[in-house]
Amino acid sequence: MRFLTIFLGLLFCCIFKSGNSATANHHQFKVDGKVLELDESNFDSAISSLDYILVDFYAPWCGHCKRLAPQLDEAAPVLAEFKEPVVIAKLDADKFTTLAHKYQIGGYPTLKLFMHGVPIDYYGPRKADLLVRYLKKFVASDVSLLSSDSAITDFIEAAGTYFPIYIGFGLNETVISDLAIKYKKKAWFSVAKDFSKDAMVLYGFNKVPALVVLHPSYKQQNVFYGPFEDDLGDFIKKNFLPLAVPMNHETLKILKDDNRTIVLTIVEDENEEKSQKAIKLLGAAASANGDLVFGYVGVKQWEEFADTFGGNEKTKLPKMIIWNGVEEYFSVIGSESLDDEEDQRSQISRFLEGFRQGRIEKHIIKGPSVTEFIRSLIGIGTVFIIVFLVAMLMLIRSLWKDDEPLKVSTRDEVHLVESSEDEQSEAESNEYRPGKKED
């Protein structure tokens, strides 16, 4: 009887503890099209129980956050209607700083998409309708099967312009399924089961099997004919960006994970007709030189970046250089710029030949924008840490000086010191010291 009582008592304690634990840790989250308010008590439960949740890390005083909120409110009910619903949630990161530090929130608002509990940074559009189209990518099928020309057209239109689109023609979906799963966050994948000769002309391939990649926002495309067993993954990875890559903050983020050397062409204006002709030639060169990235930037579009490589209105443009992605770049001796009066295709070929033969001259990136590029490559968090450490060293130095023992001086000694300080004041006026304010 005694053992039975002890057993029942232990069983009751276990049930009671389990029940309390379940009550404390389990939250019911309704997918009702409303923005979910998160805090430290329900955050972990939300991201673990909801397959897809977009979290807005905001601060109540932030103006950009206030402007974003109505867009998220508008998108939330549409996203909730997806076959695989996406829930929008928000967290006051200014209040719940532990979670903000955990997810490295460095500014407001910051959006992160949690897919089955795993966070990724959201860099997509923030207007409601475009945000919905962007997020549709993450809940779509790994490989979409298309049965007609019209189905191909509808698929491309629905995919939008933010991700590259891979379409296999005369290709079995099993050939690309594994890679489609691996790179689902970066591109759309599909296989056309039936298509016409008009489709072959439209998408620029002349035999099957073929894998076509489209970059709608750049109006560029590329074709891969195999071998699919060995080189398919390499082709897909190298074509997340178009053949000729426009240099901007977003493409630099992608290129920091690409180990290839960059052939950078600086033009006056990317939108000018003569620049567009040069860009097409760069794309053709990229097709034949897969070990290099061919990028371009217009002085009008990003003057600071172009000037870092000596490209400005005083420079003969288009200018071509070789960039290793950090603080060095190289010019090719005898091929520093492209002449509009000559065949530019041949000039680009000579430039590449000179580079591969080692006829290059080394340069160091100049100007204040170097910090911007380093921040793109190593992350803003690291820059903040470096600045913090420098500030701490300066503070320690200042405190060390302040701790020197005081000396009681005579009036004559004080007068002598004051005279000496007057003589040095002009020389020291331009010297920066700890504690001196400086913009």
CATH number at residue 130: 3.40.30.10
Locate the DSSP E strands across 93-209.
Answer: 110-115, 118-121, 144-146, 165-169, 188-192
Asked, for residue 3, whether it belongs to a domain, the answer is no
Active-site pick, 38, 65, 212, 252:
65
Predicted confidence (pLDDT) at residue 108 exceeds the cutoff of 80 = yes
Of the ranges 25-39, 332-346, 350-364, the best mean pLDDT one: 350-364
Burial class (CB in 10 A: 0-12, 13-18, 19+), 45: middle
Are both 363 and 343 inside the same structural domain?
A: yes
Asked, for residue 403, whether it belongs to a domain, the answer is no
Q: Where are the alpha helices (H) located in 142-191, listed in sequence order?
A: 149-159, 173-182
Asked, for residue 399, whether it belongs to a domain, the answer is no
Predicted confidence (pLDDT) at residue 439 exceeds the cutoff of 80 = no
Asked, for residue 384, whether it belongs to a domain, the answer is yes
Are both 280 and 339 inside the same structural domain?
A: yes
> Which position has the higher pLDDT, 188 or 123?
188
Asked, for residue 219, whether it belongs to a domain, the answer is yes
Q: Which of 240, 265, 298 is the last residue of a domain?
A: 240
Are both 248 and 354 inside the same structural domain?
A: yes
Element of type H or E holding 266 = strand 261-267
Are both 160 and 50 inside the same structural domain?
A: no
Are both 246 and 230 inside the same structural domain?
A: no
> Which residues have CB under 8 Å from 19's CB, separation 6+?
none
Active-site pick, 33, 44, 48, 62:
62
Predicted confidence (pLDDT) at residue 324 exceeds the cutoff of 90 = no
Element of type H or E holding 380 = helix 380-402
What pLDDT, on a 0 to 100 scale, did the predictor assign at position 256? 80
What pLDDT, on a 0 to 100 scale, did the predictor assign at position 250? 80
Predicted confidence (pLDDT) at residue 249 exceeds the cutoff of 90 = no
What pLDDT, on a 0 to 100 scale, did the predictor assign at position 21? 38
Q: Where are the alpha helices (H) located in 142-243, listed in sequence order?
A: 149-159, 173-182, 197-202, 232-238
Nearest by Cα to 216 from 168, 166, 160: 160
> Which residues have CB under 8 Å from 418's CB, separation 6+?
none
384 pLDDT band, cuts 50/70/90, is low
What pLDDT, on a 0 to 100 scale, did the predictor assign at position 20? 39
Are both 258 and 388 inside the same structural domain?
A: yes
What pLDDT, on a 0 to 100 scale, did the predictor assign at position 168? 96
Asked, for residue 11, whether it belongs to a domain, the answer is no
Are both 65 and 133 inside the same structural domain?
A: yes
In contact, 165 and 158? CB cutoff 8 Å: no
Number of CB atoms found within 10 A of residue 20's CB:
10
Residue 49: which domain range?
36-137
What pLDDT, on a 0 to 100 scale, did the predictor assign at position 313? 77
Q: Which of 120, 137, 154 is the last residue of a domain?
A: 137
**Residue 220, strand partner residues:** 215
Q: What is the pLDDT of residues 134-173, one digit of tens each?
A: 999 899 899 999 999 999 999 999 898 889 999 999 999 9
What pLDDT, on a 0 to 100 scale, did the predictor assign at position 367? 56
Mean pLDDT estimate for the chain = 81
Alpha-carbon distance of 351 to 281, in angstroms, equals: 13
Predicted confidence (pLDDT) at residue 229 exceeds the cutoff of 80 = yes
Asked, for residue 20, whether it belongs to a domain, the answer is no
Are both 366 and 271 inside the same structural domain?
A: yes
Q: Which of 90, 114, 137 is the last residue of a domain?
A: 137
Predicted confidence (pLDDT) at residue 252 exceeds the cutoff of 60 = yes
Are both 115 and 202 inside the same structural domain?
A: no
Alpha-carbon distance of 315 to 297, in angstroms, equals: 14
When divided into structural domains, the chain yields a total of: 3
In contact, 99 and 66? CB cutoff 8 Å: no
* Angstrom distances, CA of residue 46 to CA of 17, 87, 114, 327: 22, 10, 10, 43
> Which position has the higher pLDDT, 417 or 101?
101
> Which position has the higher pLDDT, 134 or 372?
134
Average pLDDT over residues 188-204: 95
What pLDDT, on a 0 to 100 scale, did the predictor assign at position 426? 40
Q: Strands 144-146 and 360-364, how do they pair?
A: unpaired
In contact, 212 and 225? CB cutoff 8 Å: no
Average pLDDT over residues 261-274: 94
65 catalytic per annotation: yes
14 catalytic per annotation: no
Are both 132 and 253 inside the same structural domain?
A: no
Are both 124 and 181 inside the same structural domain?
A: no
In contact, 223 and 204? CB cutoff 8 Å: yes
> Which residues have CB under 8 Å from 93's CB, separation 6+?
57, 58, 59, 99, 100, 105, 108, 110
* Angstrom distances, CA of residue 292 to CA of 80, 282, 323, 360: 43, 11, 10, 16
Q: What is the pLDDT of residues 79-106, one digit of tens each?
A: 999 989 999 999 999 999 999 999 999 8
Are both 173 and 229 inside the same structural domain?
A: yes
Asked, for residue 430, whether it belongs to a domain, the answer is no
What pLDDT, on a 0 to 100 scale, did the predictor assign at position 425? 40
